[in-house]
């Protein structure tokens, strides 16, 4: 699962991407439009500024804007940034590799083999899509109803 924080981050960045080159967007505007707790969003956006993905302006008329063209911000990058890695298992991370605890030697671990392949497939897709892509949304699933 992506953490709530990662999800907020992605939606905040999408919000900024949609307003690319339209001047700074205030934190409160993002929080309200995206339904993200205000205080939590300050933490998230400050982090994005530190990471260089977002530029901030203080004072009147201040706010946030994307530091890069949306087309250059790929979802894979965002997730790697907030989560450390795309992999579903530490030993399958290609960037932030770590050994798993209580595992087999990596050279023998089929779970690792499988998870590496999966990671690469996920990466291929997530690194193909950027904040500039119009993602088609899908209708919500029919609501499951409580058994009467």
Partner DNA sequence: CGATTGTCTACTAAACTGATAGAGATATAA
Partner DNA sequence: TTATATCTCTATCAGTTTAGTAGACAATCG
Applying CB under 8 A, the residues found at the interface with its own copies are: 1-2, 4, 7-8, 10-11, 14, 34-37, 75, 87-90, 94, 97, 100-118, 121-122, 125-126, 129, 135-141, 144
Contact 126, 75 (CB under 8 A): yes
Question: In the structure, how many helices (H) and strands (E) does the chain have?
Answer: 5, 2
The answer to whether 40 contacts DNA (rule: CB under 7 A) is: yes
For residues 104 and 108, what is the distance between their CA atoms, to the nearest angstrom?
7
The CA distance from 6 to 4, in Å, is 5
| Region near DNA per CB under 7 A, out of 35-43, 91-99, 107-115, 135-143 | 35-43
Q: What token pair was written down for 56? A: 């901030």
Based on the shown chain and the rule CB under 7 A, indicate whether residue 32 belongs to the binding site for DNA: no
Interface positions with DNA (CB under 7 A): 3-5, 8, 24, 26-28, 37-40, 42-43, 45-46, 49-50, 56-64, 101-102
């Amino acid at each position: 699962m992506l953490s709530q924080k990662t999800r907020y981050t992605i939606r905040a960045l999408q919000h900024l991407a949609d307003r690319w080159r339209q001047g700074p967007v205030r934190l409160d505007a993002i929080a309200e439009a995206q339904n993200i707790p205000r205080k939590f969003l300050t933490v998230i956006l400050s982090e994005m500024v530190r990471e260089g993905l977002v530029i901030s302006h203080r004072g009147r008329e201040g706010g946030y804007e994307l530091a890069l063209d949306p087309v250059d911000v790929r979802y894979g990058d965002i997730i790697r940034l907030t989560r450390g890695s795309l992999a579903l298992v530490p030993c399958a991370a290609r960037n932030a590799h770590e050994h798993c605890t209580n595992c087999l030697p990596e050279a023998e671990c089929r779970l690792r083999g499988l998870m590496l392949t999966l990671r690469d497939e996920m990466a291929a897709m997530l690194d193909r899509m950027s904040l500039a892509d119009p993602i088609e949304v899908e209708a919500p699933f029919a609501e499951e109803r409580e058994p009467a």
